[in-house]
């Protein structure tokens, strides 16, 4: 009886140790890190209608033990949709481009190892709310710095923002200068002057000046900055947010642009 008890205890210890090892694998420091920033279409509204997310996660956006996310409390955890659930807290989040991007990147280059995603996007924000010294800017820089504390490196930032700057013509006309300043400041404050940045040209907008903002985005000539054009991707009934299928496609487009660096 005593021998049987020892065997059971040994089995229990083995199972507990194995479980702890699995958890450690999930939460280990990622090697290569991507920042996800901007407004609602980066945060993800795919599958959201009437303030409710339908819970549909396409195969391209499924979780993967090799993809982690930096949570709001600055700890690494397994990444899963919605990626911005605890970041863009005043809105309902659904599918964005992040998981599709990460899965696509790993399929194309498994040698990248464990990937870390740093969600920073907040819906409804104008470029002026991302100026150096603002809450959103400081939060991005802080989260990015925490993300590399364990030894990983930031290898790119994905940026999708501008819908809110299509309402006022003055905002639209100053968008190019403001975006260039923002991207330059981020690189300076992360001490990575050549940081690869992939920005998205708008598929939609909240105002009449979409074309002005799009021209600004397509006209950015900073080194190591690429632009993926979302125009033509399917929108939801609100004519503002990308559908789940479009978010999947956008993530794949962003991955393609990443491998062009």
Active-site residue list: 40, 238, 241
Buried b (16+ CB within 10 A) or exposed e, 120-135: bbbbebbbeebeeeee
Angstrom CA distances, 187 to 144, 193, 221, 223, stand at: 11, 5, 15, 12
The token pair that represents 243 in the structure block: 């559908």
- In whole angstroms, what is the distance from residue 212 CA to residue 174 CA? 10
Asked if residue 224 lies in contact with residue 73, where contact means CB atoms within 8 angstroms, the answer is: no
- In whole angstroms, what is the distance from residue 225 CA to residue 196 CA? 6
In the three-class reduction of DSSP (H, G, I as helix; E, B as strand; rest coil), residue 10 is classed as helix
Total count of residues recorded for the chain: 261
- In whole angstroms, what is the distance from residue 173 CA to residue 128 CA? 13
Extract the runs of DSSP E, i.e. beta strands, from the chain.
32-38, 48-49, 52-53, 67-70, 76-78, 115-119, 153-160, 197-201, 225-229
The token pair that represents 220 in the structure block: 């950015």
- In whole angstroms, what is the distance from residue 179 CA to residue 209 CA? 16
Asked if residue 102 lies in contact with residue 254, where contact means CB atoms within 8 angstroms, the answer is: no
């Amino acid at each position: 009886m005593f021998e049987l008890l020892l065997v059971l205890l040994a089995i229990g210890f083995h199972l507990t140790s194995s479980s702890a090892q699995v958890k450690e694998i999930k939460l280990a420091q990622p090697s290569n890190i991507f920042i996800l920033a901007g407004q609602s279409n980066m945060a993800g509204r795919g599958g959201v209608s009437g303030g409710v997310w339908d819970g549909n996660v396409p195969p391209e956006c499924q979780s993967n033990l090799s993809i982690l996310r930096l949570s709001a409390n600055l700890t690494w955890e397994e990444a899963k949709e919605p990626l911005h659930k605890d970041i863009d807290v005043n809105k309902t989040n659904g599918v964005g481009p992040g998981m599709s991007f990460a899965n696509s990147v790993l399929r194309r280059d498994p040698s990248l190892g464990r990937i870390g995603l740093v969600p920073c996007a907040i819906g409804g924000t104008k470029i002026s709310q991302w100026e150096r010294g603002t809450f959103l800017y400081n939060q991005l820089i802080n989260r990015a710095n925490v993300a590399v504390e364990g030894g990983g490196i930031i290898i790119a930032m994905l940026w999708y923002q501008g819908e809110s700057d299509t309402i006022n013509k003055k905002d639209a006309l100053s968008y190019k200068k403001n975006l260039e300043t923002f991207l330059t400041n981020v690189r300076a404050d992360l001490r990575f002057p050549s940081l690869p940045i992939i920005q998205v040209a708008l598929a939609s907008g909240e105002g009449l000046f979409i074309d002005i903002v799009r021209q600004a985005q397509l006209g950015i000539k900073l080194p190591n900055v690429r632009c993926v054009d979302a125009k033509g991707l399917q929108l939801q009934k609100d004519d503002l947010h990308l559908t789940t299928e479009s978010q999947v496609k956008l993530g794949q487009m962003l991955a393609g642009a990443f491998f062009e660096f």
